[in-house]
Structure 1
Amino acid sequence: MTTLEQVEVAEAQTGSSVLYPFLMVTAILTMMHYWQQNTRYVKLGNKLPGPPALPFIGNLHYLFGVRNSHEVMKSAVELSHDYPPVVSGWIGSWFLVVFLWDPSDIEIILSSHVHIDKSIEYSMFKPWLGDGLLISTGDKWSSHSKLMAPTFHLNVLKSFVGLFNKNGQTLVESLKKEVGKPSFDAHDYLSETTVDTLLEAAMGVKSTSQDGEGYNYAMAVMKMCDIIHQSTYKVWLSLEPMFRFVGMAKEQMQHLNIMHGLSSKVIKSKKEEFIKSKESPVSDNYYMTEQEETDKEAQKGTYFDQSQGLKDDLDDDVGEKKRMAFLDLMIESAQNGAVMSDAEMKEEVDTMMFEGHDTTAAASSFTLCILGIHQEIQKKVMDELYQMFGDSDSPATFADTLEMKYLESVILETLSLYPPVPIIASQLKEDVKLASGDYLLPAGCTVVIGTYKVHRNPEIYHNPEEFNPDNFLAENMQNSHYYGYIPFSAGPSSCVGRKYAMLKLKILLSTVLSNYKIMSDMKESEFKLQGDIMLKRADGFRMRIEPSKSLKAM
């Protein structure tokens, strides 16, 4: 055999060694795809409305070329206009996701005690939150939810009015440096204020106390949230090797060590304090701060209707509560027979810090931006506050918050158009027959409730794209669908901290608006929204401020 013939044989063998495995893999994948397409799960999924899926990749091609979470949200909203309020999508050829935004369908999911399992995407929170309320399911979720509910009871919330006022005034002082500037991003200020408030409310720790531990914790919370945000739209970060390669795993561990270290330390200290307090008599004011001592008027209210749109069961009277951090209340419950370990307490405290921080910071940032655009609405809010407080710098009492009717409508309308949590995802444990049409969702699929889309449904709201606080006046809410307004979710899985959030928003925003006029040159249509975990603005919450004291007397 000549050298040339030997080369030709070698090339043929090389080609065969590459071609045969390729053909084998292709054949196996083709058979798997054919088998999958004939399963009941896939057959039911393919009957649902939705864009055509490609073999093997499903609908992932819609993400090709998408650079950030703003573009993801923009594409998703535009695509939704072409379909009914039931839309299916495939991630690969096996992972079915169904998007819903009809209230009658949403009611079936959210009112169920069966379909409360979180979707697999929530697993990214596990290193931080463990099996806290955001992630846990089944009996653990049920028992912890019942245990946590009293910590957000009306009489407990009243005791935090002084804390909210104090941190609101701190925010006002911090904003002074921005007066007269062309613009600034308000979210950084509101985020820091929210974390400071939560640190004290959840754990009884001040951000400036304990040799800077509280401040470091606050910074770690905000940075950890940023890591999670990035992981939602940078798909490659979901791969552990890539997550480690770019250095984010190391950074995440540093933040986790700070947060878990402080929460574990505080739990141990609080338990020791609790045991000592049981051994020796303490005064009724043991858990009260000086600020709350001067704000006892805030504890005289007996009704907390924040507002008709927020129906819940947190108002049953269980007696007056002393000013205690949520952690204190959990420790007290555990010492009185409730089954909750130190690790579980830490998970719930960490969960409070995450859920309470980002949502409130986003909601308050959007509200101020909106008021900066709609000057006539801002004037109505300022007039309402001026009628209540005049030129006085008196802190708001709990009773005052009940009179902030127009501000409340503004907050609720903001939460409608810009819900902090734009989607709610769960995994079905059983098949579900929808109410809006002849659709059957297979068990095992992920259901994504599009809160953002629900609140902009023209069949529910007149001119849904227009900011109109009058939508939430009592007379306009009488015939509204319970599941047509879900900024805090609804049903068994609704947010236990919804009243805490509304009370804090009222006091924080009223304090800012009593001191500053907000201005913005942007239109709402120019907002670059990004919807990963929380709804935010990719372009930042930019605004201008000027002192408003001189305006009140005009």
Structure 2
Amino acid sequence: MTVVEDIPTDPSTSTRLIIYPLVLVATVLWILYRWQTQSKLYKLGNKLPGPSTVPLFGNALLALGKKPDELVTLALDYVEKYGTVVRGWLGSQLVVFLCDADDAEVILNSQEHIDKASEYRFFKPWLGEGLLISSGEKWRSHRKMIAPTFHINILKSFISVFNQNSKNVVDKMKSETGKVFDVHDYMSGVTVDILLETAMGITKETQDESGFDYAMAVMKMCDIIHQRHYKFWMRFDAIFKFTKFFEKQKQLLNIIHGLTNKVIKNKKDKYIENKAKGIIPPTLEEITQNKVTSDSGLANAKTLGDTVFKGYRDDLDDNDDNDVGEKKRLAFLDLMIESAQNGTNDITDFEIKEEVDTIMFEGHDTTAAGSSFVLCLLGVHQKIQERVYNELYEIFGDSDRPATFEDTLQMKYLERVIFESLRMYPPVPIIARKLKRDVKIATNNYLLPAGATVVIGTYKIHRNPKYYKKPDVFDPDNFLPENTQNRHYYSYIPFSAGPRSCVGRKYAILKLKILLSTILRNYKMVSDITEDQYRLQADIILKRTDGFRVQIEPRQRVPFIG
């Protein structure tokens, strides 16, 4: 029998095996720290006001273990402490928060600083290089192509869609009468239904089970992206791939992309088939061409949006001159396919898919949250709700007829209510950009270094007492003409501003007017939760962690007196 003897181990060898790797790691970290502290980014960044940092981690540990609503409170506390410019470090990444309209204008009005921050990469598996994420020449060409699809003529053609789906959600909400329920669930559902029809041309009649699955997948994908924003460790792709959310994301994207690809193929085949028969739909140019018609006078009717947003006139304003009235309804997808097929725009099927997916995302969660906040606020502010209803009664009387485009132009007070709600609770509470070069801002002539991520604090700008006398009070009269005419244009940016302003701004306001007016003509909103009790969370979209809980009562269709 062979005896295997133990080989004596030198204790110093074991010690070296432990110490050498530790020394190596410590050396690498020390070099990294020295490089970081000597960089221009670090030197300029640390001239800005902000909380003290921990070497290598910066301020990242401040967010560790915090819930979404706690992160909002933390951010607001730092703005109170340090002012409208606050510096933070996420490791070696410099993040600068700007909460003054003058500083926001410097960034948002720039044709150069249009690149989105790195956090937008979480959308890439879903949206690809769509309008939300893309930059450079691709973004410019696609923006130029998509902006005309939001022409007022096309938006007017969607009014019947807005009306029918608004009526549908009113019928669904009837079962909640007398109960306390989360109205956001209903606003989310109706918004997806409207988008399926206006973006892809999928109606309730043509929608099979795949349409419902798609709607659910869109909502769940938004939840996953929310998780990646507020759970710091999930921001790292290498870690995210080992979580249950990664596998779930793959399943959801198969549903979303599967339906989008299927619809694009079917519509493209139909277009080619019709073209062979000589049936050619109107081109985008024909729909938006300048002609005088019976209702062309409506084009010159000014809305609140024309006044509030005039300071940062963009490509959306250029589309609406000389309105031609309602034309045959075409979904955004139809318009893009037609534009690609007739050679007007050089865009592939894959790029069309990216843009349709982008419209579905951007138009869903924002409108759902925005409409939910309005209904909750009206549930608390009964006098304001009564005034809204009186305006609607003047327009509709006790009839149940659907709203027309002309009706929406008469909803002056409801429009102010919507704008004020978007001021206090902007669905997109922050806007993040990556700086390409050093930028000097208005506040203290601070110099922000190239490579920094700049976060425009829309929520705080909207509540700056410099621009609003009582910034924390819900007051629709903030948007009376005499109160808006001398206000800084960038003090109200719920749809961003400048070259990258939201392309669906007018679509969103028109949809909100019809949706909310339909609900308020049928129900009285009631809520005993005041604004000071709201627990807000902000990852991508501003929401309430406690939900949008309200009660509804059947509306007595008589005007309020007094």
Normalising TM by the smaller chain, what interval? Answer: over 0.9
Q: Which amino acid aligns with 2:102?
A: S
Matched, 1:496 2:503: yes
User: Which of 343, 364, 374 lines up with 1:367 in the alignment?
Assistant: 374
The residue that corresponds to 1:327 in the other structure is 333
Distance 1:335 1:64 in 2: 51
User: How do residues 206-221 of structure 1 correspond to structure 2 at under 5 angstroms?
Assistant: 206-207=203-204, 209-221=206-218
**Distance change in 2, residues 1:306/1:281 (3 Å):** farther
Identify if the C-alpha distance between structure 1 residues 299 and 357 changes in structure 2 by more than 3 Å, giving closer, same or farther.
farther
Distance 1:298 1:262 in 2: 38
Q: Which moved more, 1:134-143 or 1:47-56?
A: 47-56
Q: Does 1:539 align with 2:537?
A: no
* TM-score calculated relative to the size of structure 1: 0.93
- How far residue 74 of structure 1 moved from its aligned partner, in angstroms, is 1.1
Shift of 1:40: 1.4
Shift of residue 243 of structure 1?
Answer: 2.8
Alpha-carbon distance in structure 1 between the residues aligned to 2:253 and 2:370: 26
Pair 442,461 (structure 1): closer, same or farther in 2 beyond 3 Å: same
Match for 2:143: what amino acid? S
Q: Trace 1:475-514 onto structure 2 (pairs within 5 A).
A: 475-514=482-521
The corresponding residue for 2:49 is: 49
> Displacement, 1:23?
2.6
Residue 31 of structure 1 and its aligned partner are, at CA, apart by: 2.5
Could you tell me which residue of structure 2 aligns to residue 80 of structure 1? 79
**Residue deviations 1:163-190, cap 9 Å, x none?**
1000000010000000011x10000100
**CA displacement at 1:136 relative to structure 2:** 0.2
Describe how 1:287-298 pairs up with structure 2 within 5 A.
none
Does the residue aligned with 2:308 lie in a helix, a strand or coil? coil
The one of 151, 156, 159 equivalent to 2:149 is 151
- What percentage of residue pairs aligned between the two structures are identical? 56
**Amino acid of the residue matched to residue 156 of structure 1?**
I
Q: Where in structure 2 are the equivalents of 1:401-550 lying within 5 Å?
A: 401-550=408-557
What CA distance in whole angstroms lies between the structure 2 residues aligned with 1:116 and 1:286?
30
Who is 2:219 aligned against? 222
Q: What is the count of residue pairs matched by the alignment?
A: 537
SS of 1:98's equivalent in the other structure is strand
Residue 393 of structure 1 corresponds to which residue in structure 2? 400
Return the offset for 1:105.
Answer: 1.1
In structure 2, do the counterparts of structure 1 residues 253 and 28 end up closer, same or farther at CA, with 3 Å as the change threshold? closer
Whole-angstrom distance in 1 between the partners of 2:210 and 2:322? 36
Q: Which amino acid aligns with 1:57?
A: F
Structure 1 residues 349 and 283, CA gap change in structure 2 (3 angstroms): closer
Q: C-alpha distance in 1, partners of 2:514/2:147? A: 22
Residues 1:207 and 1:71: Cα distance change in structure 2 (over 3 Å): farther
Confirm or deny: 8 A CA contact 1:306 1:499 kept in the other structure: no
Match of 1:348 in 2: 355
1:154, 1:440 → 2: CA distance?
Answer: 41
Summarize the alignment of residues 276-295 of structure 1 with structure 2, pairs less than 5 Å apart: 276-282=273-279
- TM-score (normalizing by structure 2): 0.92
Partner of 1:117: 115
CA distance in 2, matches of 1:409, 1:297: 28
Change beyond 3 A, Cα 1:373–1:299: farther
Q: Report the Cα distance in structure 2 between the residues aligned to 1:284 and 1:342, rounded to whole angstroms.
A: 19
The AA in structure 2 aligned to 1:21 is P
Residue 190 of structure 2 corresponds to residue 184 of structure 1: no
Question: Residue 70 in 1 paired to residue 69 in 2?
Answer: yes
Tell me how far 1:273 sits from its aligned partner. Answer: 1.9
Aligned with 1:522: secondary structure? coil
Q: 1:317 to 1:136 in 2, by over 3 A?
A: farther
Does the alignment pair 1:19 with 2:19? yes
The answer on 1:270 being equivalent to 2:275 is no
Change (3 A) 1:147 1:443: same
Mapped to 2, the partners of 1:56 and 1:166 lie a distance apart of 56
Deviation at 1:208, TM superposition (A): 5.6
Match of 1:168 in 2: 166
- Structure 2: how far apart are the matches of 1:504 and 1:298? 20
> Would you say the 8 A contact 1:59–1:91 is kept in 2?
yes
1:185/1:543 contact within 8 Å kept: yes
Tell me the alpha carbon deviations over residues 73-128 of structure 1, each in whole angstroms, 9 at most, x when there is no partner. 11111111011211111011x21001101111111111111100011000000000
Tell me the alpha carbon deviations over residues 125-183 of structure 1, each in whole angstroms, 9 at most, x when there is no partner.
Answer: 000000000000000000000000110011111111111000000010000000011x1
Question: Within 1, Cα distance between the matches of 2:246 and 2:84?
Answer: 38
User: How far is 1:301 from its partner?
Assistant: 3.1
The equivalent residue for 2:287 is: none
Q: Secondary structure at the match of 1:301?
A: helix
Cα displacement (A) at 1:378? 0.5
- Point out 4+ residue stretches in structure 1 off by more than 6 angstroms: 283-287, 296-300
| Rounded Cα–Cα distance in structure 1 between residues aligned with 2:250 and 2:448 | 39
Looking at structure 1, the residues matched to 428 and 523 of structure 2 have their Cα atoms a distance apart, in angstroms, of: 28
TM-aligned CA deviation for residue 244 of structure 1: 3.8
- The amino acid that maps onto 1:398 is F
Answer whether contact 1:220 1:258 (CA < 8 A) is retained: yes
Tell me the distance in 2 between the aligned counterparts of 1:401 and 1:15: 79
Contact preservation (8 Å) 1:298, 1:398? no
The secondary structure found in structure 2 opposite 1:489 is coil
Change (3 A) 1:168 1:454: same
- Tell me how far apart the structure 2 counterparts of residues 39 and 241 of structure 1 sit (CA, whole Å): 27
Counterpart of 1:290 in structure 2 is none
Higher mean displacement: 95-104 or 302-311:
302-311
Give the partner amino acid of 1:35: W
Q: Structure 1: which amino acid aligns with 2:258?
A: G
CA 228–440 in structure 1, closer or farther in 2 if over 3 Å, else same: same
Q: Determine if contact 2:124/2:133 at 8 Å carries over to the other structure.
A: yes
Q: Tell whether 2:320 aligns with 1:315.
A: yes
**Residues 1:553 and 1:119: Cα distance change in structure 2 (over 3 Å):** closer
- Tell me by how many angstroms 1:283 deviates: 9.4
Shift of the 306–478 alpha-carbon distance from structure 1 to 2, 3 Å rule, reads: closer
Alpha-carbon spacing, 1:393–1:553, altered in 2? closer, same or farther (3 Å): farther
Deviations 1:259-281 (CA, angstroms, capped at 9, x unpaired): 11111111111112222333335
Match of residue 34 from structure 1: 34
